Each structure stands twice: as structure tokens, then as C-alpha cells.
Amino acid sequence: MAEKILMKGNEAIAISAIRNGVDGYFGYPITPQSEVMETLMKEKPWETTGMVVLQAESETSSINMVYGGAGCGKKVMTSSSSPGVSLMCEGLSYIAGSELPCVVVDVMRGGPGLGTIQPSQSDYNQIVKGSGHGDFHNIVIAPASAQDMYDFLDWGFELAFKYRNPVVILSDGIIGQMMEKVELRPVKPRRTREEIIRDCPWAVTGKPASRQRNIITSLSLDADVQEEFNRKLQRKYAAIEENEVKYDVYMTGDAEYLFVAFGCSSRICEAVVDILRSEGIKAGLLRPITLYPFPYKEIGGLAAGMKSIMSIELNLGQMVDDVRLAVNGACPVGFYGRQGGNIYTPEEIVEQFKKFNNLV
Amino acid sequence: MTIEDIKKPENLVYRKPSLLTDNVMHYCPGCSHGTVHKIIAEVIEEMGIQEDTIGICPVGCSVFAYNYIDIDWQEAAHGRAPALATATKRLNPDKYVFTYQGDGDLASIGTAEIIHACSRGENIAVIFINNGIYGMTGGQMAPTTLIGMKTATTPYGRDPKLNGFPLVIADMIAQLDGTAYITRQSVHTAAAVRKTRNAIRKAFEYSSKGIGLSFVEVVSTCNSGWKMTPVQANKWMTENMFAKYPVGDIKDILK
């Protein structure tokens, strides 16, 4: 039987990085994710796998270290929380614009500004819709457990290298701090130099006589070249939207009411569905696992048969815009959210659900 | 002696370094960048380390350095080159990693990155072109602009009350324990070019010794930005820039 260990979501990220052959982690302390770097420093992976772990002088610097490492074809990552991720947006734009793979973990806290150190899901717009200048997307995956934190890191690198695109693991203070059992998967070794040269012919690995020099850049001053590059990115995003949408459903088979919630909120909404079902109300839940690409088709498909859909988020209404686009008027769309580090109880959501649907 | 005799290989006294590409440089005539590029190409060729060298380009006039020297390059965001180079070197400790940065890039927007790369003692070489002005964006004030110097954003001359004082970055980082070799050179005469070549070679050599960061500042001209002829710019540099930025070694921990 596979080994299961009780650990925090943040610790799961660190342990997963070491066990999945990550080459480098570059970070900067910020609550509520500091356990990621603390765990790595305690584990000293440079003595075992050879993984580099470095505390940078800022998030600006750590994301640019990731940009440098990614240019070498290495598996590199960073983690931060919302205000730190704001600083990383410049780097994410360069990484996307240079078509490099990397994984960034955002353990969300409340904003705007310094906000709060408590959990939130209010980086949805920043990470799913923006995170820097230019026409680009991060691939965004949303864990809902410590096990997801462990597993999504490896999956994140798989997607990052498949599409040469930044992947953001959009987590939150609840998932990062919560302790759960985590099953450790088989160890993957770090890739050798030869494997990197074979798999990443674009990487700056030192120019041998046998090939042209490799240049990692996002700069092209020729308008037509730049436009064509952006169209190429859009073709890549179309392929991602076609192939990589991932979601989970709970009790949707005969559902008349649907909840849409991601991350920690999806776990709370499972309890909401159970309460409503016990009262004879046919509720179901769709949990988007990929936030970009978003499961528009799947939510749209379910909307036709629903009396209403509610988006439940630890913010004041961000993903609900995507839910509305997916539903496209097929049924009423409601929203309930909390902010400031406050977390809704299932009963609270049930009450808001009944109010919205005139079931009181 | 005919032209054909003169062209014989045994009469060759000078040639373009093999690592300098045939791309036509975008630099203005008289600019120091082309000379420093040539020196770097020569040093990498001399040391036989083309396959072992990774360069990090800045934002500024030398943003296209990757078009001219035939090695693997990565383009950084403005000021961030030392952060990239940190990761590149730590993940590839057997490579020679260097950044090439101007004064706006290194001494203004990138001060945090260069100071902390120095402080951590990253085993990289930094080539710093200091011409006292932002060239690429059209001649605005740089942190290194001299007092009284006219630029697009100091049209009446740099006034310390309004614009603060010139930043002498090489002397600052010489104070940091993580730096191994700090020198300030120039390329306005043949003798100066030879000294700069030796300095850059030493910086590359030191960067493979695991003793900390090496830094070669090249006090340079931007005759377009300074609105002078190349000859006037060289003269103005020696008469004005050298007073604030004197050439010579500042630190060498192996001496």
C-alpha cells in the first residue's frame, strides 16, 4: 500500500516538488504559503536530488529566476500569495511571451492591497483573466485538497511542458494550511542534461557547433511578426481549450439546481448539496478543476435543464461572470460570496440558495 | 606587392571574431556597444567556451545583443537580468553565465536585482555599459547622468535638488562581500580596448572559480543621446565622465 502522510497543503507542494524531479524552486516568504519554502529548506533536496532551492529578494526576482531557469529547459517553480503574485505578473507575461514552461502556486489571501492574510479566492480575475500585459493565458488548475496540491504539481508541469506555457496552481489559504492525508506517488527522477537537450531543443543549454544559437525572447518589433506570434499563441490556446478542460460533478444526474464552485468552496458545496438533497431538493455541483480552460460547454450543457445555477466563491463575484457566459441566459444565475477571510458555512449557503430561488 | 599578396593569410593582422555574426548592427556610429560586443565575442572565442556560455540580454539599446554574438541567449525584462542569470548559473553550474546591461537597466530599475546578486555572491560576470543616459528610449536622464548634463527629461541640466545625484554603482557593490572583481574601464582608445578585453576575460575566468560575482563597468559614449559627434563624445567622456567614474580596478579579491 502506498505511503500516506498527514501534511499541510503547502507541505504537499514542497514534498511533491522534490519527489517529482523539479530542478529549481525560487521563492519569497509570504503568508499563508511560507511553509512551501520552509519545508524545502528543511528537506535539503540539493543533497539528494540536486534540486536548487533559493530565497530571492522579492517576488519580482523569484519569478524572473523562474523565467531564467525555464529558459534552460529546467523544471522550475515558485509559490506565493496574492500580493506577491501581483508582483509576478510582469514575469508571467514574459514567460508566456517567450513560450516557456513553469509552475506558479498561488495560495490566495484576501485583497485588495495588503488585504488580509486569511483565505480568499479573489485572485480569480488576476490569474484567469489577466496576470500581465498582452494577449496571453495562464493554464489555471484549482486544487481542493492537500492530495490535489501534491498531484497537481506534477500535472501542472506536464501541461506546462506540453504547451510551453505557464501553469498556475490557484489554491487558497484553506487548502494551503489544512492538514490532510496525502498519498505519496512513485518518485520521478530529475531529467538528465541529455534528456533536456533532447526534449527541449529550444532551450539555452550552450550552443554546440551542430545547431544555430537558441534565443529566448518575447521581442519582435516587426508588426506582422508580432501579430503572427500572437495568432500562434491563440491557436495554442484553442488546442488547450479543446483538450484540457477538466471538471468534476456531484449529484448532477437528476439535478434541478446547480452550484458551481472551485477549490475549497467546492468541498463546502458538496455538504450544501447533501443538506438540500436531505430536504428533497434536487441540487447538484459542478467543480471546475481547470479554470483556464473553463468548462463553458459542460456548464452550458447542464444549464438547459436547471431551474437556476449559483456560483459560490470566496470573493464578491468573479468566476460568476464566466458562469453567466456559459449559461448564456438558459436559466437564472445567482451568486453568493464572502470576503475578508470569512468563510461561509453550508447552512449559510443553503439559506442564500433558498432566498435566491424563492424557496423560503 | 599586389592586392592578392596582401590578402594572403600570413599577412593577416586583424580579423572579425568568428563569434561575431554578420548581422548589421543597429547601433549608432560612434556608440561603444559595438566595440564591447566585439571584445566579448573575442574573449569567448579565445577561451573556447562558446558551447559553455549563456548570455542574458537587457532592455535598452543592447536588447538585440543576441543578434550579434553567436551563443545561446535569453532576453530579460528591464533590470531583471541578474535574477535570470542567478537561476541559469545555479541550475547549470558548469556554464559561464554573464549579463550585459546598460545604466538604466542595471542602476535604476534593476538595482534590487544587481545588489542582491552581488550580495549572494552569484558566480556570474556582469558587463555594465555606463553612458549616463537612456539611449533606446530617446536620451532621458539615467541614474548615472552627471550633474548639469542635459537630457530629454533634464532639458536644463540635471539639478540635484530636482533629480538627485549620480549613482556610482560599482563603488557601492564593491562594499559587498559577495563580489570578487570590480573594475571600471572604457573603450575610447586602442589601449583602453585592450584593458577592457583583459578585464572581461578576467571576469569570465573568475566566474568559474566559485569566488563570487565579477563586474566590468565600461564608461561609454552615447554620441546620439549626448548630441555630439563620436570624436566630441570621446573627448567629453574623458573630460567629464571620468571625473565621476574614474577608470581602474576597484576590487580584486585574488590580488
Q: What grid cell was written down for B130? A: 555606463
To the nearest whole Å, the CA of A4 is away from the closest chain B CA by: 31
To the nearest whole Å, the CA of B237 is away from the closest chain A CA by: 32
Would you call A213 an interface residue with chain B, using a CB distance cutoff of 8 Å? yes
Average pLDDT over residues A263-289: 98
Asked if pLDDT for residue A130 goes beyond 90, the answer is no
In this structure, the number of other CB atoms found within 10 A of the CB of residue A83 comes to 17
d(CA A153, CA A167): 9
- At B9 the pLDDT is 86
Helix (H) or strand (E) holding A285: strand A283-288
Across the interface, whether the CB atoms of B87 and A215 are under 8 A apart is answered no
- Look at residue A329 and give its three-state secondary structure: coil
d(CA A226, CA A242): 24
Bridge partners (DSSP) of residue B37 are none
Going by pLDDT thresholds of 50, 70 and 90, the confidence category of residue A3 is confident
Q: What grid cell was written down for B88? A: 541559469
Which residues in chain A touch residue B118, judged by CB atoms under 8 angstroms apart? Answer: none
**Cα A46 off chain centre by:** 26
d(CA A80, CA A186): 26
For residue range B149-196, what is the model confidence (pLDDT) as tens digits?
999 999 999 999 999 999 999 999 999 999 999 999 999 999 999 999
Would you call A315 an interface residue with chain B, using a CB distance cutoff of 8 Å? no
Across the interface, whether the CB atoms of A213 and B76 are under 8 A apart is answered no
Nearest to A315 by CA among A142, A146, A169, A172: A172
Helix (H) or strand (E) holding A229: helix A223-243
Would you call A52 an interface residue with chain B, using a CB distance cutoff of 8 Å? yes
Q: What is the ipTM of this complex?
A: 0.95
Asked if pLDDT for residue A1 goes beyond 70, the answer is no
Would you call A98 an interface residue with chain B, using a CB distance cutoff of 8 Å? yes
Would you call B92 an interface residue with chain A, using a CB distance cutoff of 8 Å? yes
Would you call B93 an interface residue with chain A, using a CB distance cutoff of 8 Å? no
Any idea what DSSP says for residue A282? -
| Phi, psi dihedral angles at A298 (to 5 degrees) | -70, -40
Average pLDDT over residues A102-129: 96
Q: What grid cell was written down for A101? A: 514552461
Nearest residue of chain A to residue B90 (CA atoms) = A52
d(CA A309, CA A300): 11
For residue range A4-62, what is the model confidence (pLDDT) as tens digits?
999 999 999 999 999 999 999 999 999 999 999 999 999 999 999 999 999 999 999 99
| Phi, psi dihedral angles at A121 (to 5 degrees) | -125, 35
Cβ contact A322:A296 at 8 Å: yes
Number of alpha carbons in the 13 Å side-chain half-sphere of residue A296: 10
Cβ contact A110:A122 at 8 Å: yes
- At A193 the pLDDT is 97
For residue range A51-109, what is the model confidence (pLDDT) as tens digits?
999 999 999 999 999 999 999 999 999 999 999 999 999 999 999 999 999 999 999 99
Quickly list DSSP for chain B: --HHHHTSGGG------TTB-SSPP-SPTT-SHHHHHHHHHHHHHHHT-GGGEEEEE-SSGGGGGGGTB-SEEEEPPTT-HHHHHHHHHHH-TTSEEEEEEEHHIIIIITHHHHHHHHHHT-S-EEEEEE-SEETTTTSEE-TTPPTT--BTTBTT---HHHH-----HHHHHHTSTTEEEEEEEE-SSHHHHHHHHHHHHHHHHHHTTTS-EEEEEEE---HHHHTS-HHHHHHHIIIIIHHHS--EEEEETT-
For residue range A216-255, what is the model confidence (pLDDT) as tens digits?
999 999 999 999 999 999 999 999 999 999 999 999 999 9
- Closest partner residue to B51 (CB to CB) among A23, A76, A206 is A206
Which residues have CB under 8 Å from A280's CB, separation 6+? Answer: none
**Percentage of chain A surpassing pLDDT 90?**
98
Across the interface, whether the CB atoms of A23 and B91 are under 8 A apart is answered yes
Nearest residue of chain B to residue A89 (CA atoms) = B77
d(CA B204, CA B83): 18
Nearest residue of chain B to residue A208 (CA atoms) = B51
- Closest partner residue to A207 (CB to CB) among B70, B86, B91 is B70
For residue range A324-357, what is the model confidence (pLDDT) as tens digits?
999 999 999 999 999 999 999 999 999 999 999 9
| Phi, psi dihedral angles at B57 (to 5 degrees) | -85, 155
- Closest partner residue to B116 (CB to CB) among A23, A57, A66 is A57
To the nearest whole Å, the CA of A83 is away from the closest chain B CA by: 18
Q: What grid cell was written down for A137? A: 493565458
> Hey, of A25, A26, A57, which one would you mutate to test binding to chain B, going by the most B CBs within 10 A of its CB?
A57
Would you call A215 an interface residue with chain B, using a CB distance cutoff of 8 Å? yes
For residue range B5-26, what is the model confidence (pLDDT) as tens digits?
888 888 888 889 999 999 999 9
